[in-house]
Amino acid sequence: MPETGSILIVDDDEDILTAGRLLLRRHFGDVLTCRQPERIPALLAGRDVDAVLLDMNFGPGESSGAEGLDWLGRILDIDPAIVVVMVTAHGSVDTVVDAMKRGATDFVTKPWQNEKLVATLSAAVKLRASRRESESLRQANRVLADASAAGSPIIGDSRQMQAVLSIVERAAPTDANVLILGENGTGKELIARELHRLSERSTNVFLTIDMGAITESLFESELFGHRKGAFTGASEARIGRFRAANGGTLFLDEIGNLPPALQAKLLRVLESRTVTPVGANGAEPVDVRIIAATNVPSIELRDKSRFRPDLLFRLNTVEITVPPLRERRDDILPIARHYLAHYGRKYGKPELALSREAEAALLAYDWPGNVRALRHVVERAVILCEGAALRVTDFALHRGPADSGTISIQPAQSLSLEQVEKETIAAALRKHGFNISHAAKELGLTRASLYRRMEKHGL
């Protein structure tokens, strides 16, 4: 059964075109032939061609390869992602090298070996698909970046946030690694995305990894990739997150939760700028900018028993601390009004406003969950409010022991184990600002187990 893929053969010899068409149509979905190179632009404009098999010389007595090189350039001008394989019977090694430098992917010689030609063009079709996928990812990343910038802007006119944004503007255009510190819910990922948006890598991928969610056994496979058959269950090759983010930015969230053994493996990659997939014989270069984030306080991160100093030095070329919301109260009301407008549009209540009493209550609250908690509180208030002016009672501003950083559980109405479990899980989630990794760790559960229990109890 023929493979998918469209091939265009360009040669001035009708016998070559016939032989190529008869051979390749058994292996590819569509095979076009062209004896006159002047027809190439029209053929490429009318069809989606994956690979071009292009002769180096046209016309009797031609052997310089100049015409083939000229058409190579024109084809790549029309479609820079197309794959061009050169065909030559007379070209010297220098001519072939010149063609590769100008963008040709491979070459075959006349008379060709059928198996080699089919293998070369099969690889060309796969490369074309990979280029399409990469371009699709870049476009998707631009859309996501635009949506992120529009949907979740960094709102911060306070002196503290202006100082943070000043560092972001200066660090973003460089390739320096950045470490972002701050409590849960302060907006560390927004800062990371802003660094990427303002960088020269902004048109490439921004990839996030939750370092606290990757198990030690899968760490190398997830980050560095693996070869097919490298271990039980590796039914196909995988490129890993580092290579997937090649040319872009890799955001390592919750880096402070990485065990020491895995810290050493990450350090080697950052030092060498290469990754070795599991089961591979050699290392492969990667070009990524690293932005890391953690809610671990700076003094704990500098404890050698918890975090390797040499890895920390690699990560914090620039260090940014995002202040908690209670330390930048000037931003509370602008953020609340932004989300009030956002959720008002979403839930069909565009005329909502904050009452003076509600504004005073929001300003007075300490916001243990920071901006994330404020967003959730505003969304709940928009959904449940009955009037146009939101009152204090529309906001669930719980005060008391639960805000102190310990898990506080109110006495259950019954001693049912189901009820006790539900309230314990809910209290852990509140304490950690609904950070699943941290709540699971405190409860002594895996993330998967916690998700199952949350689904079970409707949390």
Domain ranges of the chain: 3-131, 158-323, 326-394, 401-457
CB 33 within 8 A of CB 21: yes
Say yes or no to pLDDT of 455 above 80: no
For 3-131, the fitting CATH number among 3.40.50.2300, 3.20.20.80, 1.10.3720.10, 1.10.150.670 is 3.40.50.2300
Say yes or no to pLDDT of 405 above 70: no
Q: What is the pLDDT of residues 103-120, one digit of tens each?
A: 998 888 888 899 999 999
Q: What pLDDT was estimated at residue 45? A: 85
Question: For residue 154, how many other CB atoms are within 10 A of its CB?
Answer: 18
Grouping H, G, I as helix, E, B as strand and the rest as coil, residue 80 is coil
Q: Which of 33-42, 308-317, 450-459 has the lowest mean pLDDT?
A: 450-459
Q: Which residues contact 364 (CB under 8 A, 6 or more apart)?
A: none
Say yes or no to pLDDT of 308 above 50: yes
Return the structure tokens found at 444. 């002594």
Q: What pLDDT was estimated at residue 85? A: 93
Q: What is the pLDDT of residues 201-230, one digit of tens each?
A: 998 889 999 998 888 888 988 899 888 888
pLDDT category, 173, cuts 50, 70, 90? very high
> What architecture is the 158-323 domain classified under in CATH?
3-Layer(aba) Sandwich (3.40)
CB 8 within 8 A of CB 32: yes
pLDDT category, 303, cuts 50, 70, 90? very high
Q: What is the pLDDT of residues 336-380, one digit of tens each?
A: 999 999 999 999 998 899 999 999 999 989 999 999 999 999 999
Residues of the chain with pLDDT > 70, as a percent, come to 89
| Residue type for position 235 | S
Q: What pLDDT was estimated at residue 352? A: 93
Average pLDDT over residues 260-274: 93
- Cα 354–Cα 357–Cα 362 angle in degrees, nearest 5: 70
Say yes or no to pLDDT of 15 above 80: yes
Say yes or no to pLDDT of 312 above 50: yes
Q: What pLDDT was estimated at residue 350? A: 87
Average pLDDT over residues 144-165: 77
Q: What is the pLDDT of residues 76-103, one digit of tens each?
A: 999 888 999 998 875 567 777 888 889 9
Average pLDDT over residues 380-386: 92
Helices 66-78 and 93-101: angle between axes, nearest 10 degrees: 10
Per CATH, which fold does 401-457 belong to?
Arc Repressor Mutant, subunit A (1.10.10)
Question: For residue 375, how many other CB atoms are within 10 A of its CB?
Answer: 19
Q: What pLDDT was estimated at residue 266? A: 95
Q: Which own/partner contact pairs does 43-49 have at CB distance under 8 Å and 24+ positions apart? A: 43/8, 44/8, 44/75, 44/78, 44/79, 44/82, 45/78, 47/6, 47/8, 48/6, 49/6, 49/7, 49/8, 49/79, 49/82
Instruction: Give the residue among 63, 60, 56, 164 at the shortest CA–CA distance from 100.
Output: 56
Grouping H, G, I as helix, E, B as strand and the rest as coil, residue 277 is coil
What backbone torsions phi and psi does residue 84 show, to the nearest 5 degrees?
A: -115, 125
Spatial distance between the Cα atoms of 69 and 420, rounded to a whole number of angstroms: 75
Say yes or no to pLDDT of 407 above 80: no
Is the C-alpha dihedral spanning 303, 252, 324, 385 positive or negative? negative
Helices 447-457 and 436-443: angle between axes, nearest 10 degrees: 100
pLDDT category, 288, cuts 50, 70, 90? very high
Q: Which residues contact 92 (CB under 8 A, 6 or more apart)?
A: none
Q: What is the pLDDT of residues 433-442, one digit of tens each?
A: 667 778 888 8
Average pLDDT over residues 371-398: 90
Q: What pLDDT was estimated at residue 409? A: 44
Spatial distance between the Cα atoms of 369 and 376, rounded to a whole number of angstroms: 10
Task: Give yes or no on whether 3-131 and 326-394 have one common fold.
Answer: no
Spatial distance between the Cα atoms of 185 and 183, rounded to a whole number of angstroms: 6
pLDDT category, 140, cuts 50, 70, 90? low
Q: What pLDDT was estimated at residue 1? A: 45
Q: What pLDDT was estimated at residue 426? A: 80
| Full DSSP string of 295-353 | -S-HHHHT-TTTS-HHHHHHH-SEEEEPPPGGG-GGGHHHHHHHHHHHHHHHTT-TT-E
Say yes or no to pLDDT of 74 above 80: yes
Q: What is the pLDDT of residues 184-198, one digit of tens each?
A: 999 999 999 999 999
Spatial distance between the Cα atoms of 112 and 396, rounded to a whole number of angstroms: 75
- What rounded mean pLDDT belongs to the chain? 86
The strand pairing partners of 209, in sequence order, are 252
Average pLDDT over residues 136-149: 59
Q: What is the pLDDT of residues 230-240, one digit of tens each?
A: 887 777 777 88
Q: Find out if CATH 1.10.1740.10 is the number for domain 326-394.
A: no
